[in-house]
């Protein structure tokens, strides 16, 4: 009888795994990588913005390059409020997405800013600290990564909380 057992090899496992770009949750934010680079430039300057259609006046989030209402492309950036109300929220306690497993538990929410509702993480609060209708305010976070880009994103904290 012939032994058909394959040869076994030993491989080393790296201490750190760099994720492929497809598993990165945050856009590359420069003009060469995205057509909404102005959104990130505004955010870098501390201003949350989105696009408004010059043809039909529709405001949508996230920013668009074509209006989903009228299909026009006459879009300009408009400021959004830095404060809003919790419309809905939940806490991620168990299995978080790849790369976020060290962050659990964390709260994600739908924040009502008036003209738009957007999803965001809520910092400095746990699930039991929050209620529907609570006021939250914008914080801009810098992403610590290896892309050689100065990337930022938005999150919210309960109104009046420290944004350290």
Top pLDDT among 29 and 45 is at 45
Average pLDDT, the chain: 83
pLDDT tens, residue by residue, 95-153: 766 666 677 888 999 999 999 999 999 999 999 999 999 999 999 988 776 555 678 88
Pair of tokens at residue 137 = 């305010």
- Compute the distance between CA of residue 30 and CA of residue 54 in angstroms, rounded to an integer: 24
What pLDDT is recorded for position 161? Answer: 75
What span, in angstroms and rounded, lies between the C-alpha atoms of 116 and 110? Answer: 10
pTM exceeding the 0.75 threshold for the entire prediction: yes
pLDDT for the residue numbered 104: 81
Rounded CA gap, 63 and 85, in Å?
20
Task: Supply the pLDDT for residue 142.
Answer: 86
pLDDT tens across 15-29, in order? 665 655 444 556 666
Q: What Å distances lie between residue 76 and 22, 79, 113, CA to CA? A: 29, 10, 18
Q: Which two three-digit tokens encode residue 68? A: 């989903």
């Amino acid at each position: 009888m012939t032994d058909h057992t394959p040869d076994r090899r030993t491989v080393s496992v790296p201490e750190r795994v760099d994720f492929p770009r497809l598993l990165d949750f945050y856009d590359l934010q420069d003009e060469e990588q995205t057509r909404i680079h102005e959104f990130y430039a505004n955010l870098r300057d501390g201003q949350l913005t989105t696009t408004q259609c010059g043809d039909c006046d529709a405001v949508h989030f996230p920013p668009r390059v074509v209006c989903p209402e009228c299909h026009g492309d006459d879009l300009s950036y408009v400021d959004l409020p830095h404060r809003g109300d919790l419309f809905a929220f939940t806490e991620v306690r168990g299995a978080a997405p790849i790369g976020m497993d060290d962050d659990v538990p964390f709260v994600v929410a739908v924040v009502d800013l008036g003209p738009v509702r957007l999803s965001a993480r809520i910092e400095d609060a746990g699930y039991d600290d929050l209620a529907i209708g609570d006021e939250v305010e914008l914080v801009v976070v810098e992403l610590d990564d290896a892309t050689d880009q100065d990337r930022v994103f938005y999150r919210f904290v309960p109104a009046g909380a420290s944004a350290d």
